[in-house]
Structure 1
Amino acid sequence: METPYGINLAVYLISTYFGDLVAKVCECLLRNGSLSFANILRSTELNRVQVKNSLLVLIQHNCVQAYVIQQEGGFGEAPKILTQYLALFDNIIHHLRFSKFLAIVSDDLGKECSDILEGLLQHGRLSEDQILDRYMDISNQNEAQDAIKENFRRLVGARYVERCPKPEPFLAPPSEEEVAAKKRRLGAKASKVQVLFQEPETIEQRVLAAAAPMDSIRFLLESFINDDNCMVDGERNEDNWMDGDKGRQNDQDLDMTTQAQKEKKVLWRVNFEEFVRRLRHKACVANVKGRLDEGTATVLSSILKATRSAETKVKMESSVPLSMDSILEEVIKTDKGRSMNVDRVRAALIQLGCQLPVIELDETFSIDLGAIIELAQLEEVESIVLKRYGREAYRMFRLLSKAGRPMETEKIADTTFVDKAETAKILLTLWKDDYLQMETLTANSGKETKYMVWKVNKDLLWIHVLDEMYHAALNLRLRLMREMEQEKEIILAPKGIQFEKRVDRLKKVRNVLESSLMKLVDATMLFRDF
């Protein structure tokens, strides 16, 4: 579920890039969840053309996904097929990270590939011909078409670019057989309790799974594909579409077929999932380097690089298992790894939490990435507490987070060597700002005594910290835009008027604001995407 300031930031970004009308439709979807075209009309009070054009823009830029559901008809009426529209919050926030994505591709594949990716980031979805034409228009060099196509193939091969999802996948409710199979997997005795506490699959997850192309064609460059549930050269195969499609409403609200699809072209877009994976790996390596040492970070980086293509999910809790020989082979490929021997690699694996076998056979080793991310999250929150509330509050927060259980005020004061009255004051401040949870307990030992206990609830705190980060990022963006407006004023000033000091000041302010925003973007990924 999106946080309040997260929604405000997303709406502001859409307004900045696409205008207030598009932002109004996007905000309606973000705040209300998936809606039909008619419900969007009622909620926004815009006319049909405005809503249709806004949805087209949002879908073109991968900020909204359409999907189809079956709605039961009234008495004696056949079921109706209804199109719903769902805002994709993460894809909207990714607009803040476009510069990072371009830097990754530039370092990995070169500037030519980065220029191609920039076109997809700007336009959302393009066919291969459109990508080629755009690159030829902006390039000053008369580069051969074969070279451009080869760079595009390199982007697809590295999984930075993927085929677009299905325009309107059908989202079927879970069948009775699927529900029964799930209960059988959980077991008859524990089914009720486990179902109650099991994290439910969200509508967004179900829609994205239904819309995603099959793995066999997601990164396939061939133009013609004929599969039961896939596109045929960018066009839906009507013969294999869901039964009852003829029952769709006659006054179809929105035709989501783009021009490229009309021309029977396969559409491509940026694969955000791959960039999030790369940034997650980078964050893990940076954390290990700062917390342990550079050699251990080199071993982790080598393992992640070797197993990247084998990963199937962004948020894999552990790396793909590798044998010791494979790890050594990858480590010595790096400049810093050439001087590392077997014993040094073993020591690094132990530091990373791997249990080494007593007798070496053909064992494999994997790294607990989830534990590394959790440590990085905790360090980030601890640094916030230290900067905002001081060192004594930092010691108390660190004590409670490591304890993992409630502690009373007197025990916290004795452990952190802080006066009891001052301890209570600091704990109350942290509680009021939602960094701690407090409970009042009553002890009946002859005389009724009340005392307070404190604890850190990480699940709730992480959401609160993320919302604060979105708030700070929004404020930075607003301040940055205001400074840029002032700079525009200076640039358009008549000749002869000197603004050297003012220009220097604005440049310094912009550098500070932009660097601070990038740090916040990294931090939000730590709590949201990783």
Structure 2
Amino acid sequence: MVSPHGIKLAVYLISSYFGELNAKVCDCLLRRGTQTLHQVVSSTELSRKNVKNCLLVLIHHNCVQAFAIRQPGGFGEEAKIITQYMALFDNIIHKLRFPKFIEIVSEELGKECEEILEWLLQHGRLSLSQIIVKYKQASKQGDSSADAAQDSFNRLVNARFVERCPAPDPLLEPPAAEETAAKKRGAKSAKIQAQTMEQQALAAAAPMESMRFLVENIWNDSVEKADKRTTDVKCGMKRKQEDLESNTKDPATGEKEVLWRANFEEFIRRLRHKACVANVKVRVNNDAAIVLAATLELSRHSETKLRIDNSVPQSINAIYDEVIKREGGLGMDLERIRASLDDLGCEAPLMEIDETYSVDLKNIIEQARIEEVESIVLKRYGREAYRMFRLLSKADRLVETDKISDTTFVEKKDAVKILFKLWKDDYLEMKQKYTRLCFCI
């Protein structure tokens, strides 16, 4: 569920980037959930043409995902295929993080890769031929710029900063048919069936992992298509509507082209890892930060999806080899590394033969979030509110008002006012227990 404040922020971002009409369509999808074209038209009171154009723009910029559902017809009628649209809230909010994404690529891969990423973030989706044309326009090096574009693009894909776009409108089978197939295939398929319709649509639209970052055998065709293009959008200009409508086809041949986009999942993984290391460095010590950074670097290469609970288990030898490559880690031995892993909350393995460790990322992130909220409470409500909020965050349970007042040395009358203010602003939860008011985070 998206909070009302989150919806307001998302709609504001869409309005800032794409205008009021697109913001109105986005607001409808965020507030009402998945909708058909007819339902969006009825809710927004916009013309059918305007709604279609808005959905086209939002899909192209990865803010909306379309999917089709096959619905069985009545007696003697054929099945109907109905297209539905859902807003991708996380992708919309990622627009606030675009400068951070660009900074990551600039530091790791250089200026040329940074330019390609900027084009993808600006235009949402681009084919290789479009990227080559834009690279030639920016570099003015003639044919040699195609090779430079290939090298820069390959580096972005190898680092998983760029991926193939999902299918524009995957087809979902009726629930009855899926249930029958799930029973035949077993428990794993039954688990898939338990997913929501939106989750199934995203899974169906996502390219296979083997194809997601595949660039081979398409460069020569893309270079030829780039040479045939006579006009394209100049850097810094918005894409025209007719260009959006034909973005999956080459204008010269009419053939479908592979579209590419920024891989938000990889950028968020990098930012999460960076934030975890910075927090551990301040809260624990520098050794623990070095070991955590090494463990996360090893995990990054073996993760297929963004992990939010625990990192991928790694052997102590692999962690050691990665630690000594890092600044400040050369002098660390296995005992210091084990001590740092213990400081990170990793449980020691039962058998030394298979000595592997997995870091509890969820706990690190939770601690960082609490500290951030504590600083906000301190600035906004004062030191007394900060002490009470910190007491509740450490207790991690319901605490009676009298006990909060006594422990934090705040007069009960003032404590009640502060607690009610924090509760009203959604910083705390309040429950009544045995006729007494209790609060928790």
Say yes or no: TM over 0.5: yes
- Residue 431 of structure 2 aligns to a residue whose secondary structure is strand
Select between 43-52 and 90-99 the one with higher mean Cα deviation: 43-52
2:209 paired with 1:215? yes
Distance (Å, rounded) in 2 between the aligned partners of 1:438 and 1:25 = 36
Q: Which residue in 1 is equivalent to 2:376?
A: 384
Higher relative contact order, chain-length normalized (CA < 8 Å, sep 6+): 1
**Are the aligned partners of 1:161 and 1:219 in contact in 2 as well (CA < 8 Å)?**
yes
Q: Does residue 372 of structure 2 align to residue 396 of structure 1?
A: no
Q: How many residues matched?
A: 407
Change (3 A) 1:433 1:59: closer
Secondary structure at 1:260 match in 2 = coil
Q: More deviation in 61-70 or 403-412?
A: 403-412
- Report how far residue 439 of structure 1 moved: 2.8
Shift of 1:66: 1.0
Q: Provide the TM-score with structure 2 as the length reference.
A: 0.85
Residue 68 of structure 1 corresponds to which residue in structure 2?
Answer: 68
Which secondary structure does the structure 1 equivalent of 2:432 belong to?
Answer: strand
Equivalent AA in structure 2 for residue 16 of structure 1: S
User: Closer, same or farther in 2 for the Cα pair 1:283/1:263, shift >3 Å?
Assistant: same
Q: What is the percent sequence identity of the aligned residues?
A: 58
Mapped to 2, the partners of 1:181 and 1:388 lie a distance apart of: 57
Which residue identity does 1:90 align to in structure 2? D
Partners in 2 of 1:341 and 1:302 — Cα distance?
14
- Tell me the equivalent position of 1:121: 121
Residues 125-140 of structure 1 correspond to what in structure 2 (within 5 A)? 125-140=125-140
Q: Give the superposed CA RMSD.
A: 2.6
Could you say which residue in structure 1 is the equivalent of 2:157? 156
Equivalence for 1:470: none
Q: Note the C-alpha offset of 1:182.
A: 11
Question: Which blocks of at least 5 consecutive residues in structure 1 are unaligned?
Answer: 186-194, 225-254, 443-449, 457-530
CA contact (8 A) 2:399 2:438 kept: yes
Answering whether residue 169 of structure 2 is matched by residue 168 of structure 1, we say: yes
Change over 3 Å in CA distance of 1:290–1:69 after alignment to 2: same
Distance across 2 between alignment mates of 1:184 and 1:145: 49
Q: Secondary structure at the match of 1:144?
A: helix
Aligned partners of 1:221, 1:56: CA distance in 2, in Å? 26
Residue 34 of structure 1 is matched in structure 2 by 34
Q: Per-residue deviation at 1:275?
A: 0.5
The separation in 2 between residues aligned to 1:388 and 1:183, in whole angstroms, is 54
The answer to whether the Cα contact below 8 Å between 1:167 and 1:256 also exists between their aligned partners in 2 is no
Deviations 1:386-443 (A, max 9, x none): 222222222222222222332222222222233333323322222232322223344x
Hey, what does 1:516 align to over in structure 2? none
Q: What's 1:454 paired with?
A: 439
Equivalent-residue separation in structure 2 for 1:141 and 1:336 (angstroms): 42
**Deviation digits for residues 439-470 of structure 1 (CA, Å, limit 9, x no counterpart):** 3344xxxxxxx4322222xxxxxxxxxxxxxx
| Match runs of 1:89-104 below 5 Å | 89-104=89-104
1:418 corresponding residue in structure 2: 410
Residues 22, 55 of structure 2: 8 Å contact kept:
yes
Matched residue, 1:351? 343
Relative to structure 1, is the Cα distance of residues 26 and 359 closer, same or farther in structure 2, using a 3 angstrom cutoff?
Answer: closer
Distance between the aligned counterparts of 1:38 and 1:29, measured in 2?
12
- Map 1:236-385 → 2, pairs under 5 A: 258-260=247-249, 262-357=254-349, 360-385=352-377
Task: Give the Cα separation in 1 of the matches to 2:201 and 2:393.
Answer: 36
Per the alignment, residue 238 of structure 2 pairs with none
CA contact (8 A) 1:70 1:82 kept: yes
Q: Is the 8 A contact 2:71 2:174 kept in 1?
A: no
Q: Deviations over 1:78-129 (max 9, x none)?
A: 2211111111111111111111111111111111111111111111111111
Residues in 2 aligned to 1:178 and 1:415: alpha-carbon distance in whole angstroms: 59
Give, in angstroms, the shift of residue 178 of structure 1. 6.7
1:280-332 superposed Cα distances (whole Å, 9 cap, x missing partner) = 11111111011111221111111111220101221331111111111111011
